[in-house]
Structure formats: C-alpha cells, structure tokens
Amino acid sequence: MKKLSVKAALVCALGLSVNAYAGNKDRTGQAGATELSINPWGQSTGVFGMNTANVRGLDAMKTNIAGLSFVEKTEIGASYTMMLRNGTVGVNNLGFAQKLGNNGGVVGVNVMAMSFGDIPITDYDNPEGGIGTYTPQFFNLSLGYAKAFSHSIYAGVAATFVSEQITNVKASGAAFEAGIQYVTGKRDNFHFGITLRNIGTNMDFTGNGFTVNVQAPENEAYTMNMHVPTEKFEMPTYLNFGLAYDFYLDEKKTASADEQKAEPTKPKHRLTVMGSFTSNSFNNDFLGAGVEYGFHELFMLRAAYRYEKNIGSYDGRTTMYNGLAAGATIQHRIGEKGPMLAIDYSYRPTARPANGVHVFSLRFMR
C-alpha cells in the first residue's frame, strides 16, 4: 500500500508539472494576489528560495510544502520582513507545525499579513488628498499537511485563503499547492525537490468603491448609481525544481552511517550546494544557485544568486531585486531537554529603489 501511495504521489506531481510548465509569457505582469509569492521566512530568503530540495520545517510552507514533514515534534515561529528600508511596507508572519503521532504526518498553519501604513485618500474633486487616509489590509492563511512516505520520499499539500481589502473594495480567493522531496545518498546528502504553487480560483474586486453617481441619460436633473464592472485575475502560479548536495568537510574523521548505527556522530562542518529553476506563468523564469555552510548545525551562513531575464538592465528589468541574497542562522538548545531556539536573518539588496529587504525570524523547535 505504501509503494502505491508513493507512486501515486509522484505521478500526480509529474502530471501537474506538465500542465504548469506551459506558461504564456505574453501574460507577464497580469497576475493578481502577488503577495502569495512573498516568502516571509529568514532561512529560505537567505538563499532566495533556492532550497526547494532541502527546505525543512515552517519555512517549507512558503517554499516546498513537502519539507514540513521533517518537523520532529512541534515548531513555532514568527518573522518580520522590512520591505525597502525607511519605507512603511512590512510583512508580519506567524507559523505553527505539529507532528501527528509517529506515522501521522505533520500539520502546519501559517498566517501572513502585510502593512502599508496610512495612504492619503484622493478622489476626482480632491486629487491632492487632504480628506483623510486609508490602510489596505492584505491577509492570507495557509493550512498544510505533509508526510514521509518512506525514508527517501516526502510529500505535502496546502491551501491558502487570500483576502485583500480597503474601506470600500475587497477581493478574496483560495490557492492550492503540492510538493515532493526525494532524499538519497550515503549520508542522505542528495536532495531533489519539486513544487507547484498558487493554483487557485480567479479573483475580482467588488464593493461600493466601484459605484459612481452619474447624470440620467434622459434627464440631467436626476442622477443614478452606476456600478463599474471589474476584470477577474488569476493567481501567480509557478512550478519549481530544485537540487541540493551536502558535502561533509570532515567526513573522513567521522564514521560512516553503517558504522555508527548505535551512536551516530554528526560531522562538524557541512557545505550544501543547491540550485533551482522556476517556471512562472505570469513573470520571467528564475534560474539560480546558492550555498550554505553549517557548523555543528548550530551556526549557518548562506548566500545565493537568482537570475532572470534583463535583471542587469536598468530599463528592461521587471524586478526590484538585483539577484543577490545572503543570510545567517544561530540556534541553540535551551537546557538539556528544552526546545531549540533559532534566530534567522536574511538580506536581499534591491536595485530600484536601492534600500534592500531585511527578514528577521524567531523559531522554537521541540
């Protein structure tokens, strides 16, 4: 039964990937709910999401849901993203994951909200404002489930509810995703991952904000309410493939996995090389690579570069990023049997405006 489940999961993922890959680049920039593409976690943003194949824990809910299955018991996390320093745009994020028994898989919840500050209200008669302010509310709630089907194959699915609104205009929808990770090698050090994200319902904006008073066509002495229809838009669907390989720099000084079954010994130094390709339905495709160094799995440094078409052109670029990313993690167990406390940080420089994006994360793991 387990073999059939694994095969079914692989067939579904490959079937979905064939359909998703056929993106129409003529639709570039036409997707809505683009906040679904924002990753609020410090670990994965430190490598620009290149860790599709080896992401673990809560980070997986915004990268590859299959990685959620590696939560050992409980994980709680919070993060804040400061978009464009000295600006008012930020991302607040909370996450929780819980393992369901020994073979029950892992369930996860992620809540993300964006803040934009106060924006001046303008209208036809007051184009310069002066009549108050409004605050957009962008919110999404993700529910995910992931499970280890064998020692090598891990898979997961998730659904995200999306809400965007201001005082008199709103839109809502739902997006779905699925992912698989495959692990093999002498020390389980070769990783492959694939994820299909943000397949969802069409969205459209509705509300009193699209109602205007106009003069009646037959009698200008009277006015009438007219509702302006809006066009529906799709989610920013994308398909991502990733590879990763762990090099244990002190492997010769450490016993092999077969020799240390009774008392495993972890290498002190790990160097992970990773690469990723993303096929976007409504944007340029991404291709990139990253590297992460880990010391005793207590301190990690990481960096990556993500390329897309015209990223080096000032006039032709379609992204604010210049492709570089870097980050670090410090984690330590509280007491002998207490939870693991982790602090993550990442920085992605931007080209226009040149203020950069900072991400701070705090995680507790048991």
Predicted local confidence at residue 224, as pLDDT = 80
Mean pLDDT (whole number) for 181-202:
94
| Structure tokens, 204 | 């459209």
Predicted local confidence at residue 84, as pLDDT = 75
Is the separation of the CB atoms in 271 and 295 below 8 Å? no
Predicted local confidence at residue 299, as pLDDT = 96
In this prediction, residue 266 has a pLDDT band, given cuts at 50, 70 and 90, of low
75-90 pLDDT, tens per residue? 999 999 998 766 678 9
Mean pLDDT of the chain: 87
| Structure tokens, 177 | 């995703």
Domains of the chain: 2-123+131-365 (2.40.160.40)
The percentage of the chain sitting over the pLDDT mark of 90, rounded to a whole number, equals 59
In this prediction, residue 25 has a pLDDT band, given cuts at 50, 70 and 90, of low
95-112 pLDDT, tens per residue? 999 999 888 899 999 999
Torsion angle, alpha carbons of 244, 44, 23, 287, to 10: -50
Q: Which of 12-16, 86-90, 143-147, 336-340 has the lowest mean pLDDT?
A: 12-16
Strand, helix or coil for residue 294? strand
Which of the pair, 31 or 176, is modelled with greater confidence? 176
Quick one: which H or E segment has residue 44? helix 42-45
Upper half-sphere CA count for residue 337 (Cβ side, 13 Å): 0
Predicted local confidence at residue 21, as pLDDT = 40
The pLDDT of residue 16 is above 80: no
Mean pLDDT (whole number) for 169-173:
93
Upper half-sphere CA count for residue 244 (Cβ side, 13 Å): 28
Range among 63-72, 126-135, 213-222 with highest mean pLDDT value: 63-72
Predicted local confidence at residue 11, as pLDDT = 38
In this prediction, residue 175 has a pLDDT band, given cuts at 50, 70 and 90, of very high
201-211 pLDDT, tens per residue? 899 999 888 88
Mean pLDDT (whole number) for 212-239:
83
Is the separation of the CB atoms in 53 and 191 below 8 Å? yes
Strands annotated E in the chain: 74-83, 90-99, 106-115, 119-120, 133-134, 137-148, 153-165, 170-184, 190-200, 211-215, 223-227, 238-248, 269-280, 286-295, 299-307, 324-333, 340-348, 357-365
The percentage of the chain sitting over the pLDDT mark of 70, rounded to a whole number, equals 87
Predicted local confidence at residue 122, as pLDDT = 87
The pLDDT of residue 360 is above 60: yes
Mean pLDDT (whole number) for 142-164:
96
